[in-house]
Amino acid sequence: MKKVAVKFCGGCDPGYDRVDYLERIRAGGENHIEWVAIDNSDFDALLLINGCQRACAEKDLKPVSGQVTSVKDSKSNPDEIVKMLLK
């Protein structure tokens, strides 16, 4: 199981339903991903969920050792995001 943490932007005027999109990623990663809190430093990958191209979740990001995947729209199939997280 790969440990993945999530960070959202604030969601001032998002272009898609960020929470629903994450749920679809979670469903796609079932049995392969363990979702952990971001303040738990022991994670393998970080998923950033942004509502738009401004990508506020990327701002002020503390250095992380694992892979960072930043989502800015819902164009990609959530399964593609799961594949990226599991790389």
Binding footprint of another protein on the chain (CB under 8 A): 6, 8-13, 18-19, 49, 56-57, 59
Which lies closer to another protein via its Cβ, residue 49 or residue 85? 49
What share of residues in the chain are helix, strand, coil (percent, to 5)? 25, 25, 50
Which lies closer to another protein via its Cβ, residue 7 or residue 83? 7
DSSP 63: P
Which lies closer to another protein via its Cβ, residue 39 or residue 87? 39
> For residue 72, which amino acid is it?
K
DSSP 56: G
For residue 56, the minimal CB distance to another protein (Å) is: 6
